[in-house]
Amino acid sequence: MRAAVWNGPRDVRVENVPDPEIQEPTDAVIRVTSSGLCGSDLHLYEVLTPFMNEGDILGHEPMGIVEEVGPEVTDLAVGDRVTVPFQIACGHCYMCEEGLQTQCETTQVHDQQMGAQLFGYTQLYGAVPGGQAEYLRVPQAQYGPIKVPHGPPDDRFVYLSDVLPTAWQAVEYAGIPEGGSVAVLGLGPIGDMACRVAAHRGAQVFGVDLIPERLERVRRFGVETFRLTKDDGDSIIDEIRDRTEGRGPDSVIDAVGMEAHGSGAVRLVQRMTTLLPESVGAKLLSEAGVDRLSAFYTAIELVRRGGTISLSGVYGGSVDPLPMLTLFDKQIQLRMGQANIRRWVDDVLPLLGEEDPLGVDEFATHRLPLDEAPQAYAMFQKKEDGAAKVLFQP
């Protein structure tokens, strides 16, 4: 089969690889019909390279048609149409029953001291082959895949794999009071969808980003937008405070997280790790404070006293410096984590009917053949051609 394969920093190729097979009785194999390119994939493109292995198959936002099921998979049949969550969870352990599927005790990557396995996302999360491919082996298929109806286009359901539940959790974790306000920092796919979800649920929403096209995408959903430039962070904070009786918004969602490419000293450290032996580079990148925390610092300054910050953006360093005095003094509540996909599916599915209040049918800006994955990664990282969301169609 053909698959998007990691071969080094900024080196994604589409190559022929072996077809996946049933390995465990709880496996399924699907024929992928659509697979998203996520902002988190860009971390693998450059920043997290010490955790990658040459030949790793990328991608964690797939959907498709079931081709084969193991003997213990009783709720799926050949021909079913499914969306596959990005994390691999069993559904019956303590963590899954608590709605924390990203902490699944059956698939936790113990040798890395990390949570549940993820598709296509580094050795930290099990180095499981991903979904930017023609076919995908799905472990724990007795629980993970989400059956969806035949008929509507893939765009209606593919975002159940990541974007929709991640944005939903970001809004839930933000704890926005009824009729309250939220600022969303970063309007990539997750921030964009978080704006739509929050507005749909009745919040006053402020969207902040650098790119005019991204601001325009959320404006039609009633979001008040602010274009950030290099030197106007303070003025935007003042403008949003002016619209919230001088206090700041009740909640802030940081949908930026770790930059997909660093800058200055941060970028130097990130690139240095690629020149070191793999074990040394991985240790440096995971333990050093190499994240750009400007979005998080902005969230801390912007949110009102007693408000809540929801982190949906991925951060990677273990010793990043935090302004603990300010966090404590402002009594800021902080929630974060990978999205627990199956926890939110029942909340999201009713919004995927004919009315399409979240605009999923037109959410993708680019629909490309899988063979164009190398160009798509480069375009998405450079934010060229209005690329906000890319779907591959193998």
Q: Could you read off the pLDDT of 33-75 as tens digits, one per residue? A: 999 999 889 888 876 777 899 999 999 999 999 999 999 999 9
What pLDDT is stored for residue 44 in this prediction?
87
173 φ, ψ (degrees, to nearest 5): -65, -25
| Contact by Cβ (8 Å): 63, 34 | yes
Dihedral Cα 348, 354, 355, 356, nearest 10 deg: 50
What pLDDT is stored for residue 34 in this prediction?
98
8 φ, ψ (degrees, to nearest 5): 150, 175
Residue 88, number of CB atoms within 10 A of its CB: 25
Domain range list for the chain: 2-161+340-393, 164-257+292-336
What pLDDT is stored for residue 280 in this prediction?
43
237 forms bridges with which residues in the sheet? none
Question: Would you say domain 2-161+340-393 falls under CATH 3.90.1260.10?
Answer: no
| Regions of the chain where pLDDT drops below 50 | 261-270, 272-276, 279-281, 284-290
Residue 96 Cα distances to 142, 147, 195, 301, angstroms: 13, 19, 27, 35
What pLDDT is stored for residue 292 in this prediction?
63
Topology of domain 164-257+292-336 in CATH is Rossmann fold (3.40.50)
Same fold, 2-161+340-393 and 164-257+292-336: no
Give the pairing type, strands 204-209 and 224-227. Answer: parallel
Helix, strand and coil content of the chain, in percent to the nearest 5, comes to: 35, 20, 45
In degrees, rounded to 5, the angle at the alpha carbon of residue 333 between the alpha carbons of residues 330 and 337 is 140
Tokens of 389: 């969301």
Tokens of 381: 């990282």
